[in-house]
Amino acid sequence: MHERAARIRTAIAVLILLPFLAATGAAQTLTLGFAGEVVQNRWNPIVFTFRDASNVTLSVRADYGTLRTGAIWFDWSAQIAGGPGLNVFQDDIYLGEWQSLSWSASTSDRVIASGTLNPRDQDPRASDVILSTAPGRHLGIYADGARIAGTQDAALPQRLASWDGVRSLLIDGSTAPPRAAALAAAAAAGAHVMLLTPLPASFDELLLLAPEEANRYGAGYILVGDAGTLARVASELDSQRIDLAALELQLAGINAPPRPPRLALSIVLYCVVTFSVLVLVLLRFAGIAGALTVAALGALLLAVSWSAVRSSEDRISTELELHLSAGGLSRSLQSLKLIDLPGNTVSLAGAWRPTDAWEYRISAGGTSFHPERWQLLSLVRRPVLAEAGRALAPAEAPEFDALLSLLPAGTVLFGGPGLLEAHLP
């Protein structure tokens, strides 16, 4: 009898403690992309939530290799100070086509969380984010095959790169209002932000961003209207959507690779043969005096030609930045081509990604690559919200025609040293 009562007491205790145990188990969560919808070959938001841990290192390690190339590792890490209570860390991470992807969060003495992402879950389609308590109600606005990511969290990211893989953002007013800066960042990144009316009064500030049905900001739009209007305007504007991946490639193509100074082989041959004959003649007929003469002559010639033949910098690079501007906001696209002649480790401030398959590492200190000697690195920087409307001269060179063909009709291109600004209509 006592035994039975003890079992019942244990069962009751377990039932009471179960929610607390479950809550403890979910104390650390990592979310990649909006609502876990990771967009391949795009910058994705990464959010790590944890409790009661200090000095946490969050690491993501992905293999971008193929069967032919072998493993090509990408390492991303962040140092989080943390502390007691709830901690939320947010950043953006570019995810290419991975063979394996694992993440871990650890303190100095233990791993507090870890996980993997299945390569079969990769999807290059941009996502359509719905900020609503009932996202399913609005599916009619979207075409078939849309990749819907529903969220109720109104604390949307204000970093432009977070919205790189987002096709549209729908807000129906059933949640708390997000910040206007987040909407501006989403629109500037290229998303169509749709404000579904009627909206509660708390959304009036957001409506100030959309005086008309369609309002262009940076590379995207803020649309306002009822469901029918939004569906119509959005489908009309879809044809004007900028293919940002193609634009990045085109920009990298225009950004000519740096060229190290070269000596023609014929000149080298002429110089070394002449010098060799001089050495032989002087050694044979002038002995030690001849040796001293050719040594001095060689030193003099090399000293004179040093600056002409040798590049003054071991690292040479060319940089070209394109701003897609409209409504006072700009989305930046930045291409950097770099050659480190001796093959040193290249460390750059900020977050960059290579356009080709390269091993690289992003940490708090920036991005680092380990190129071979004389290897051309073609890099693209994480997009940011940039200043629009700089005083630049019109850029009308023929090499920009291909770039303009990727932008909406009526776009005017302005340019300065290393900078292009496209004023979208």
Partner 1 sequence: MNVFRAIDQELRTELVTQVSAGILVALVLVLVISWPVGPLVANNTWFTVAAARRLLLALLALYLGYARSRAPAGARLATCLTLVVLSLVTAPFEVLAFMVSHPLASLPFSLVLTVALPVAVYGAALLLAAWLGRVRAAWLAVPLVPLLLTALGLVDEVLDRLLFTPFAVATPAAAGNVAFWSCLAVATLVMLSVGAGVARRHPEAVPAGGGGS
Rule CB under 8 A: which residues touch partner 1? 257, 259-260, 262-263, 265, 268-269, 271-273, 275-276, 279-280, 283-285, 287-291, 294-295, 298-299, 301-302, 305-306, 309-311, 314, 339, 341-344, 372-376
CB of residue 400 to partner 1, shortest distance in Å = 24
Q: Indicate the residue among 245 and 281 with the shorter CB distance to partner 1.
A: 281
CB of residue 279 to partner 1, shortest distance in Å = 5
3-state SS assignment for residue 36: coil
DSSP string across 121-136 = G---SPEEEEESS-GG
3-state SS assignment for residue 396: coil
DSSP string across 156-205 = ----GGGGTTEEEEEE-SSSPPPPHHHHHHHHHHT-EEEEESS--GGGHH
CB of residue 266 to partner 1, shortest distance in Å = 10
Which residues lie across from 115 on neighbouring strands? 103
The residues near 137 (Cβ < 8 Å, ≥ 6 apart) are 172
Q: Indicate the residue among 357 and 376 with the shorter CB distance to partner 1.
A: 376
Secondary structure letter of residue 16 according to DSSP:
H
CB of residue 258 to partner 1, shortest distance in Å = 9
Q: Indicate the residue among 27 and 283 with the shorter CB distance to partner 1.
A: 283
Which residues lie across from 161 on neighbouring strands? none
CB of residue 333 to partner 1, shortest distance in Å = 24
DSSP string across 379-395 = EEEPP-EEE-----EE-
Q: Indicate the residue among 174 and 311 with the shorter CB distance to partner 1.
A: 311
CB of residue 286 to partner 1, shortest distance in Å = 8
CB atoms within 10 A of CB 73: 14
Q: Indicate the residue among 181 and 291 with the shorter CB distance to partner 1.
A: 291
Q: Indicate the residue among 237 and 341 with the shorter CB distance to partner 1.
A: 341
CB of residue 294 to partner 1, shortest distance in Å = 5
Which residues lie across from 333 on neighbouring strands? 322
Nearest to 151 by CA among 128, 167, 117: 128
Q: Indicate the residue among 120 and 262 with the shorter CB distance to partner 1.
A: 262
* Residue whose tokens read 């002038």: 286
CB of residue 358 to partner 1, shortest distance in Å = 16
Q: Are 418 and 319 in contact (CB under 8 A)?
A: yes
Amino acid (1-letter code) at residue 269:
L
Q: How far apart are CA 145 and CA 293, in angstroms?
A: 81
CB of residue 314 to partner 1, shortest distance in Å = 6
Q: Indicate the residue among 134 and 289 with the shorter CB distance to partner 1.
A: 289
Please report the sign of the dihedral spanned by the C-alpha atoms of residue 250, residue 254, residue 255, residue 257: positive
Q: Indicate the residue among 37 and 340 with the shorter CB distance to partner 1.
A: 340
